[in-house]
Amino acid sequence: MTLFASTRDASLAVGFSVALMQGLAPDGGLFVPIEFPRLTPRDFNELEELPAIAARLLTPFVGTDPLTAALPQLTARAFAWPALLQPLDEHGRLHVLELFHGPTAAFKDFGAQFLAACFASLDSPPGRQLTILVATSGDTGAAVASAFFGRPDVEVAVLFPKGLVSPAQERQLTCWGGNVRSLAVRGTFDDCQRMVKSAFADAEFKSRRLLSSANSINLGRLLPQMAYFAAASLEVWRRYGEPASFIVPSGNLGNALACLWARAAGLPVGEVVLAHNANRTVPDYLETGAWRPRPSIATLASAMDVGDPSNAERLRELYPDFGALRGAISACSVRDEEIRARISAGYERYGQIWCPHTATAADAYERLPEARRAGHRWVIVSTAHPAKFPEIVAPLIGRAVPVPQSLAKLFAQSGSCVEIAPDLGALRGALKE
């Protein structure tokens, strides 16, 4: 059986299903693979479709876990829509990877649907309802709500920072009802994340309910996100015989970790660049070597407004030597005015309509030295549909942003939420109600 250990205590090793159900390790650490498989592009020969690539990639991670036999069905549900790799120039030096074709038009649909499918395949202890806590800076909560909505045996609590998500994102977060509770926290995303971690650390809270998480702290969210990096890198490798280098919009570092884990597992991934907004914790860390988390700053790329990213713990575990870490990734910070300019430029140059997060990655690409750009096959990771940010994007491109049918359906529903203080007591009270 493949095992996963806590980032804080390697002796706390469990199988995939246990790690998935617990969400967070008992000591507060994050589960990571004890070892990575050594795959090559040949291991994916004759596999073209994303669900099949995902099943092949995840099999050695899941190992002999009870969920192994169900992997083809799990990946078929989680990857039921495409992750499109679109060339932006005639020579194939630059591509954009569109990850927003799922039910809530964000990359997090892949991991959320996989996690929900896994939970549906596992037996919960009798008489205990599963409560899933999810802190969101914009997109995670909607993806998780969509994946678990209507499940009678699951209660979902979505915590989002009041007033710090886009209007369209807030409609997505609050339109559910039923088994999904939307909680507007009077604070930042970091407050929401802290409340979720506090709930996992509270013995009394956990004794009353079966608790799990649907943030990228949960392996069930993070591992499947490796699959679209694998598929894109294989497509570039097969077409050009070169690795794909990725520029990943980054906030809580879950998507960045998925890319790095895919590379660690042997996929043909070259350079990895992390594109941050004005929340500079990670770029400053790589520059100075000092880890200084700070309060988050509200930006146009709101889903990346994270001042204390949880997955930094996994990042440091993957590269415990700081010199090796600096050699493995690079990072930059993009200001709001640069995001606006890049949205306009992307439309003028490529005919692309980009959300603020994608524009952040596109700006990071433009900052690369010419020799570095020319020496690799680059992929800009597009994480959300621009229709989630029409008030930002439409004025910059001079036209209305087309709304996909999946979003239009959600936007048409009425919304409701409960406003709470940024502390565990308020979360307890909201769940009791």
Torsion of CA 72, 73, 78, 84, to 10 degrees: 50
Interval 320-372: pLDDT, tens: 999 999 999 999 999 999 999 999 999 999 999 999 999 999 999 999 999 99
pLDDT at position 119: 87
Residue 102 CB neighbours (<10 A): 25
* Euclidean distance between CA atoms 48 and 231, whole angstroms: 8
Output phi, psi for 358, to 5 deg. -65, -40
Q: At 254, which amino acid appears?
A: G
Residue 8 CB neighbours (<10 A): 14
The token pair that represents 305 in the structure block: 């407004």
Strands 269-276 and 244-249: parallel
From the list 198, 187, 127, the residue with the least C-alpha distance to 163 is 187
Mean pLDDT is highest, among 94-98, 141-145, 150-154, for 94-98
* Euclidean distance between CA atoms 114 and 75, whole angstroms: 7
Q: Exposed, middle or buried: residue 295 (CB in 10 Å: 0-12, 13-18, 19+)?
A: exposed
pLDDT at position 73: 95
Contacts for 69 with CB less than 8 Å, ≥ 6 apart = none
Residue 168's pLDDT band (boundaries 50, 70, 90)?
Answer: confident
What's the whole-number average pLDDT of the chain?
Answer: 92
Residues 286, 326 contacting (CB under 8 angstroms):
yes
DSSP structure class, residue 124? P
φ/ψ region of 359 (left if φ > 0, alpha if ψ in -120 to 50, else beta) reads alpha
Mean pLDDT for 146-155 is: 87
DSSP per position, 306-332: -SS-TTHHHHHHH--SHHHHHHH-EEE
Strand locations in 256-372 (E): 269-276, 330-333
First and final C-alpha spacing in the chain: 41
Asked if residue 184 has pLDDT above 60, the reply is yes
Asked if residue 412 has pLDDT above 90, the reply is no
Residue 152's pLDDT band (boundaries 50, 70, 90)?
Answer: confident
Strands 418-420 and 13-14: unpaired
- Widest distance between CA atoms in the chain: 61
Share above pLDDT 70 across residues of the chain, in percent, rounded to a whole number: 98
Residues 111, 140 contacting (CB under 8 angstroms):
no
DSSP structure class, residue 126? T
Go through the domains of the chain in sequence order and give each one's CATH number: 68-107+220-404 (3.40.50.1100)
* Euclidean distance between CA atoms 123 and 136, whole angstroms: 27
Q: By three-state DSSP, how is residue 266 classified?
A: coil
Interval 365-396: pLDDT, tens: 999 999 999 999 999 999 999 999 999 999 99
* Euclidean distance between CA atoms 12 and 295, whole angstroms: 31
Q: By three-state DSSP, how is residue 77 classified?
A: helix
The token pair that represents 73 in the structure block: 């069905």
